[in-house]
Amino acid sequence: TETLTALQRLVGVLRDAGRPDHRPMSGRIEELVAGFGRLGRPVAARIPDDLAGPAAEAVHGIVREALTNALRYAPGAAARVDVRRVDGLLELTVENAPPRVTAQGAGGLGAGRGVAGMRERAAAVGGELTAGPTPEGGWRVRATLPDAAAARRPEGTGWRRDVLREQRFADPALMLAAMLLPVAGVLAVTEDWPGAARRAVLPELLLVCGLLVLRALPLLWRRRAPWAVFGAVLATAWPGALAVVAVPLPSHVAQLLVAGTFAETLAVYAVAAYGPGAGHTWPAPVVTTLGAAGAVTALACADGMVAGEPAGPADAVLLSFLLSVVLAPVFTAVWGAGLLVRRRRVRAVAYDDFAFASSVWQADRAAEAERQRLAATLREAVLSHTRALVGTAGRGDLAGVADTARAALAAMREMLRGLADDGGDGGPGGPLAPSPSVADLEALCGALRSAGRDVRLRGLPEAARGLPPSTQVSVYRIVEAALGAGDPGPARVTLRRRRGTLRITVTGVRAAALGPVAERLRVQVAAGEGRIVCEPAGTLRVSLPAGAPGAPVQEVSPSPYA
């Protein structure tokens, strides 16, 4: 009866896939445990109330299999289900006491893959599982699984996913450049000074260099907090003016602080490129122009002299105005360049989102058609026999139970055989085709050669050895998209395996290196956690994680809730 209910629920899920069950997996696991409790077995459970994701599905499958084994081999024994969070992991323990009575005929009921199936479920989500007897004579199953809740980070913290690895190093490099270039300019200017003059103002020169370094330091966070960096850079411009009065700095030394304007230029660019848009960032060049003009004027007039001549308030105002006129076009141009870069990035991200959404929509339509087909086949071929089995057992006809069970299993086998052997193209009523693998690239290239195109494939046997199934699908789809871009000329596909990385080089595909095909390839490679370089000459270079060479690929039992 439990199996019949599960099959009916499965048919309902396949038929009504547009209305998924959004209940947390914790509730389903508790229902599962309660169901075993209704069979007369005391089961204690402690489960977090927010389990979700693939790891939660794995917990459900492991608990179901472990309690089933306990019911089969230790009837009447108490059991315990415990799920805890420890250091970002889910630790699952299912333990049962020694059996109260000896199980009769239990050895013939199982398929002999209970523990192996649980290990596969744990491995499918990146976890581990052990099982074995307890010192008291019972049985214990322990699994360690990644915790989806711990893996999630709050919005806005950490590195954004759209920031490439190269960009993580670009910000520190740019900050160092903003520090070193002004300091190098100071050293270049003072190189022509007499040695005695340099030694006389050496402490002041060190102070100037320190202020220039401090001014560039906030640029390290220019992507994550552009406005905060902008304000910090402007704020660090004024300690130089204060130092002129407090130290005091000689005018010919204080003027070297003007080199810090380079950091302000980079801050304006960061606000435009990584800020919320032109409508919100237009004050940045205005404020920077006024601030820089004011700071330079303060530095020039702090000692009451400008170019060796006495300067009053009117002279300071005039100098500030002239500096604003000179600096305004510079900062405006930098701000405009940042806006252009932002626009290109936003358009690229929008295109990627569209391509990804389109792929998901197409996959969802195909999956929906296949679900409907599976539901109809399951309903017609299996449910009727299962209902008959329950009815036969209810009438007490134990002799007929075995015959009806065999008929139900035969119907299930026939259904699975029909999914694999049915004619068609993979759509509704077609076969359930296997996912393509790297080995299928030979057939793909052969089909293109039959159509009159010169396509050569190298490095296939070595590269295909031990690749995970998901990586094999990614490799096939990437090469298929590149070769199918419409280039009529000869093409070369080279696969190389080195240090856990699979390198794919496709040459002679100019149409695939530019335009929509290149964008789609970038989405596919990013989905496989890889990298791609599209050269305008028509060469694609892709790197995908491949795992250890020769590592065995483990089949994974499908989740009943997938």
State the Cα–Cα distance between residues 81 and 30, nearest whole angstrom.
Answer: 10
- Domain termination residue (choose one: 307, 323, 350): 307
* Torsional class of 216: left (φ above 0), alpha (ψ -120 to 50), beta (otherwise): alpha
To the question of pTM greater than 0.75 for the whole model, the response is no
Token readout for 311 is: 């300067």
User: Is the same domain home to 43 and 144?
Assistant: yes
Give per-residue pLDDT as tens, 368-404. Answer: 677 777 777 777 767 777 888 888 888 888 888 888 8
Confidence of residue 362 (pLDDT cuts 50, 70, 90): low
Give the three-state DSSP class for 313: helix
Instruction: Count the neighbouring beta carbons within 10 Å of the beta carbon of residue 443.
Output: 10
Residues 50, 191 share a domain: no
Q: Is residue 266 part of a domain?
A: yes
Q: Is residue 373 part of a domain?
A: no
Give the model's pLDDT for residue 80: 92
Specify the pLDDT at position 515.
72
Question: What whole-number distance in Å separates Cα of residue 367 and Cα of residue 375?
Answer: 12
Measured between alpha carbons, how far is 453 from 493 in angstroms, rounded to an integer? 13
d(CA 451, CA 484): 12
Residue 320 belongs to some domain of the structure: no
Which amino acid type is present at position 346?
V
The tally of CA atoms less than 13 A away on the side-chain side of residue 375 is 16
Residue 444 domain flag: yes
- The span from the CA of 407 to the CA of 392, in Å, is 13
- CA angle centred on 382, ends 381 and 386, rounded to 5°: 140
Say yes or no: 102 and 181 in one domain.
Answer: no
447: pLDDT strictly greater than 80: yes
Domain shared by 456 and 492, yes or no: yes
CATH number at residue 34: 3.30.565.10
- Give tens-digit pLDDT for 25-51: 888 888 888 888 777 668 889 998 888
Residues 170 and 303 in one domain: yes
The mean pLDDT value for 106-120 works out to 63
User: Taking all residues of the chain, what is their mean pLDDT, rounded to a whole number?
Assistant: 76
The CA angle 346-348-353, to the nearest 5 degrees, is: 90
Residue 203 shares a structural domain with residue 285: yes
- Nearest CA to 339 out of 267, 275, 285, 261 is that of 275
Taking residues 67-90, what's their average pLDDT?
Answer: 86
Query: Which residues 6+ apart lie within 8 Å of 453 measured at CB?
Result: 488, 490, 491
- Are 257 and 127 found together in one domain? no
Q: How far apart are CA 219 and CA 174, in angstroms?
A: 8
Determine the Cα–Cα distance for residues 309 and 558; give it in Å rounded to an integer: 85
What angle, rounded to 10 degrees, do the helices at 384-394 and 2-15 form?
160
How far apart CA 120 and CA 556 sit, in angstroms, is 5
Query: Is residue 368 in a domain?
Result: no
Distance set, CA 13 to CA 310, 363, 437 (Å): 87, 18, 29
Per-residue pLDDT, averaged over 65-91, amounts to 86
User: Which residue is it, tokens 């005391």?
Assistant: 42
Between residues 98 and 224, the one the model is more confident about = 98
Cβ atoms of 215 and 258 closer than 8 Å: no
- 187 and 232 in a single domain? The answer is yes
The answer to the question of residue 451 being in a domain is yes
Q: Examine the domain organization and report whether 169 and 129 are in the same domain.
A: no
Average pLDDT over residues 441-446: 88
Query: CB–CB of 216/265 below 8 Å?
Result: no
* pLDDT tens digits for range 234-292: 887 767 666 666 666 666 666 677 777 788 888 888 888 888 778 888 888 888 888 77
Q: Does residue 453 contact residue 447 with C-beta atoms inside 8 Å?
A: no
- Looking at the structure of the chain, the number of domains it has is 3
pLDDT in tens, 479-530: 988 888 777 788 999 999 887 888 999 998 888 887 777 877 887 788 777 8
- Give yes or no for residue 89 having a pLDDT over 80: yes
DSSP-assigned letters across all residues of 120-165: HHHHHTT-EEEEEE-TTS-EEEEEEEE-HHHH---TT-S--TTS-H
How far apart CA 536 and CA 409 sit, in angstroms, is 57
Kindly tell me the sign of the dihedral angle through the C-alpha atoms of 27, 29, 32, 34.
negative
Q: Which of 257, 275, 307 is the last residue of a domain?
A: 307
Q: Burial, 146: exposed, middle or buried (Cβ in 10 Å; 0-12, 13-18, 19+)?
A: middle
CA distance 332 to 315: 26
Q: Which of 228, 223, 234, 220 is nearest to 265 (CA)?
A: 234
Q: Which residue type sits at 239?
A: P
Report whether 73 contacts 106 (CB < 8 A): yes
pLDDT of residue 426: 44
What pLDDT, on the 0 to 100 scale, is given for residue 553? 36
Query: CB under 8 Å to 330, separation ≥6 — which residues?
Result: 265
Neighbours of 240 (CB within 10 A): 25
Residue 204 sits in the same domain as residue 282: yes
Give yes or no for residue 92 having a pLDDT over 90: yes
Pairwise CA distance, residues 7 & 285, whole Å: 66
| Residue 94 β-bridge partners | 81, 141
CB 300 within 8 A of CB 252: no
Residue range 178-223, pLDDT digits in tens = 778 877 877 777 777 777 777 777 777 787 788 788 888 888 888 7
* Residue that wins the pLDDT comparison between 143 and 277: 143
Per-residue pLDDT at 81 exceeds 90:
yes
Confidence of residue 561 (pLDDT cuts 50, 70, 90): very low
* β-bridge pairing 501-507 and 531-535: unpaired
Same-domain check for residues 15 and 136: yes
Residue 300 in any domain: the answer is yes
- Burial classification of residue 49, based on how many CB atoms lie within 10 Å of its CB (0-12 exposed, 13-18 middle, 19 or more buried): exposed
Residue 275 or residue 307, greater confidence: 275
Position 62 in a domain: yes
Q: Which residues of 50-88 are buried (b: 16+ CB within 10 A; e: fewer)?
A: ebebbbbbbbbbbbbbbbebbbebbbebbbbbebeeeee
pLDDT above 60 (res 151): no
Model confidence over 458-471: pLDDT tens digits? Answer: 988 777 777 787 78
- Of 64, 76, 78, the residue nearest 118 (C-alpha): 64
Q: Count Cβ neighbours within 10 Å for each residue of 347-377 and write b for 16 or more, e otherwise.
A: eeeeebeebeeeeeeeeeeeeeebbebbbeb
Residue 301 has pLDDT above 90, yes or no: no
pLDDT score of 105 more than 50: no
| pLDDT at residue 317 greater than cutoff 50 | yes
Q: How long is the chain?
A: 562
> Do 270 and 219 form a contact (C-beta atoms < 8 A)?
yes
Compute CA distances 110 → 72, 292, 339, whole Å: 8, 80, 66
DSSP state of 541: E
Domain carrying residue 478: 438-545
Indicate whether 95 and 189 sit together in one domain: no
| Domain stop point among 307, 335, 365 | 307
The neighbour count for residue 550, using CB atoms within 10 Å, is 9
